[in-house]
Amino acid sequence: MEVISYIGIGSNLGNRKKNIEKAIVFLKADKKIKLLKKSRIYETEPLGPPQRKFLNGVLKIETKYSPFELLRRLKEIELLLGRKGSPRWGPRTIDLDILFYGRLVLKTKKLTLPHPQVSERLFVLKPLCEISPYLKHPVIKKSIKTILKNYETNKKN
């Protein structure tokens, strides 16, 4: 069975653009993953400790992997691209996160779906809205476009 998933992609170490491009090459080469759409890449302020700005984007894929297999595959790609253990929200060569896996709602020690911070991260909402504005968040029950609009309204107040 094939499932539509959304992957957050980011980098702030080394050649950020090349790191993202290489990660996409690995994903496209995987027979169980089909890249359907990719957002533009946005430069964003980091969360957490002082560090270089991130480049971030979102990928829409179709996958034959289960959610846990997809997570394992993304972690393998991160290691192949030189990701080392870093402090929470610390700098990294590549970061690949499952944002949505179909309409699945899941909460385990290893994986929470949808990603718990989707609605709180402009660097996720903006590129996600660019490629799938009417995607409905299965927990919040609102479209990404509406969630982004609410986020921007709340940040102004």
Number of structural domains the chain divides into: 1
User: Does residue 94 sit within a domain?
Assistant: yes
Report the C-alpha gap between 118 and 8 in whole angstroms.
Answer: 9
Give the catalytic positions in this structure.
Answer: 83, 92, 95, 97
User: Does residue 139 sit within a domain?
Assistant: no
Model pLDDT for residues 132-144, shown as the tens digit of each residue: 999 999 999 999 9
Regions of the chain short of the pLDDT cut 70? 85-90, 157
User: Does residue 91 sit within a domain?
Assistant: yes
User: Does residue 122 sit within a domain?
Assistant: no
User: Does residue 84 sit within a domain?
Assistant: yes
Nearest to 12 by CA among 47, 41, 49, 53: 53
CATH code assigned at 55: 3.30.70.560
Report the C-alpha gap between 101 and 122 in whole angstroms.
Answer: 20
Predicted local distance difference test score (pLDDT) of residue 90: 66
Predicted local distance difference test score (pLDDT) of residue 14: 93
User: Does residue 37 sit within a domain?
Assistant: yes
Q: Which domain holds residue 62?
A: 3-117
